[in-house]
Amino acid sequence: MAEQIDKKLCRIGERASLKKTFTEEDIAAFAQLTLDDNGMHMDPQLARRGLFRRPVVHGVLVGSLISSVMGTSLPGHGTVLQDQQITYQNPVYPGDTVTAEVCLTEVQEFERYYIATLEGTCRNQDDVLCVTAVCHQLMLKRFFTVEED
């Protein structure tokens, strides 16, 4: 007998979010993992002469919060990121608390899976928009069902 798997129901218009405070340790760990040790992130003296006048969190690190929401909450576990278009609007600094939110805006149905379109944002503690994104996430029908809201 085949194992019965409970499917997660997702609705068009549904939203999910998470919050993270970025630290200098996060920047250092990300730089080590990605080999991106650009002084604009790591060197206060160099950053002081740059556009933002102080070190900034890597944009890709901030934007990854959107992927984290999609992979853990909406749609959730078992999905696969297909693509994303991301725009960096404003810098995030060490000590900033960022809220990433995604909204499920559209779903295309195929025989064995759905392709979900999700719009994401990252805003800092002052509600300043830092990142926007449009993403497509593959959702296997064995794990998900979708309803119009």
Average pLDDT in the chain: 93
Instruction: Please report, rounded to a whole number, the percentage of residues in the chain having pLDDT higher than 70.
Output: 96
**Looking at residue 118, what is its pLDDT?**
98
This prediction's pTM:
0.90
Does the domain made of 10-147 have the CATH classification 3.40.50.300? no
Query: Tens digit of pLDDT for each residue in 19-55?
Result: 999 999 999 999 999 998 988 898 889 889 988 999 9
**Stretch 90-119: mean pLDDT, rounded?**
97
* Tokens found for residue 20: 């993270």
**Model pLDDT, residue 47:** 86
Give 69-80 pLDDT, tens digit per residue: 999 999 999 999
**Burial letters 94-125, b for 16+ CB under 10 A, else e:** bebebbbbbbbeebeeeeebbebbbbbbbbbe
pLDDT at 149: 65
Tokens of 125: 């503690």
